[in-house]
Amino acid sequence: MKEGFYKKLYLTKKISLNNPFSAPVFNLETTASTMLDARTLAAQNEPHGTVVVADVQEAGRGRIANRPWKAQKGQNLLFTILLRYSGIASIPPALTLRTGLALSLAIEDFAPALKGSLRVKWPNDVMIPPLGKAAGILTEGDGKTVYIGIGVNVGQREFPEDIRNKAASIALALGRPLEPDSRFRLLEVFLNRLHAELEEPSRQNGDWQERLGERLYMKDQQVRFLPGAADSGRVVEGRLWGIGPGGELLLKGQDGAEPESFITGELEVY
């Protein structure tokens, strides 16, 4: 990366925020991508649980390459958290989905009027039905380090035409504007939820699968699923049965056979 990029991170301010991972939280006004920033911070030996948050990303991206994350400056929560593990075997199973579970719970903590309404859409979105998608999660790995990039629509109330009927925000769901700095309070609530989900002994008994199932988007409904790569052209129809122990999606066909599992793909949403 260019020298100027490193210099920008050195000059980034740390913000005062309760991070239960006992790691710093860095704040940038503008950046290309907090995911790239987190990789730089990892190379600078920042610890497990370090967070970098930005007011706006110029090259924010989602799981699928041609779907950038579009957000108004200072209205939403855009950040990446880096997590360090001793090896691949020690990385928590279904990490992206469990992050979605923690995020949905955090949004309900942040906005109690929404309690019970958030849903986790496999594999990496958080929904506010019937409005649409409120958050997206992108997880990448680099050896023993995992980077979880998250975008949450907090205060934004207007969206570009191409996503207007698909995007939701906390402010839209509440029917009122939110203070711009409230997104940092949501970040703090989320970090506490994620820490509990991944690191508290009481959460290590596998009950995440049941808790996630309770708020799984389209659970027990007939769905169309596009397995594999986004352009595979294959379509599978069936009942969304649940989530497997590794985070795989379980679909049950019309023939009543055992559910079929999928590790990649996308639920089709109209």
User: Which CATH number fits the domain that encloses residue 68?
Assistant: 3.30.930.10
Q: Does 190 lie in the same domain as 77?
A: yes
Q: How many C-alpha atoms does 139 have within 13 Å on its Cβ side?
A: 16
Dist. CA 140–CA 150, nearest whole Å: 12
Domain C-terminal end among 193, 213, 233: 213
Predicted local confidence at residue 196, as pLDDT = 95
Q: How many C-alpha atoms does 212 have within 13 Å on its Cβ side?
A: 33
User: Which of 207, 158, 250, 187 is closest to 55 using CA atoms?
Assistant: 187
Q: Does 127 lie in the same domain as 31?
A: yes
Dist. CA 183–CA 95, nearest whole Å: 23
Q: Does 226 lie in the same domain as 209?
A: no
Place of tokens 């925020």: 17
Predicted local confidence at residue 143, as pLDDT = 83
Predicted local confidence at residue 204, as pLDDT = 66
Q: Does 64 lie in the same domain as 182?
A: yes
Structural domain boundaries, residue 248: 222-267
Per-residue confidence in pLDDT tens, the chain, 270 aa:
334 444 444 445 566 788 999 999 999 999 999 999 999 999 999 999 999 999 999 875 555 555 555 567 889 999 999 999 999 999 999 999 999 999 999 999 999 999 999 999 999 999 999 999 999 999 999 889 999 999 999 999 999 888 888 999 999 999 999 998 999 999 999 999 999 999 987 776 678 999 999 999 999 999 999 998 766 778 999 999 999 999 999 999 877 678 999 999 999 865
Phi-psi region of 189 (alpha: psi -120 to 50; beta: other; left: phi over 0): alpha
Length of the chain: 270
Q: Does 90 lie in the same domain as 55?
A: yes
Predicted local confidence at residue 7, as pLDDT = 43
Predicted local confidence at residue 17, as pLDDT = 85
How many domains is the chain built from? 2
In whole angstroms, what separates CA 114 from the centre of its chain? 18
Q: Does 178 lie in the same domain as 63?
A: yes
pTM of the model: 0.90
Q: Does 234 lie in the same domain as 162?
A: no
Q: Does 207 lie in the same domain as 74?
A: yes
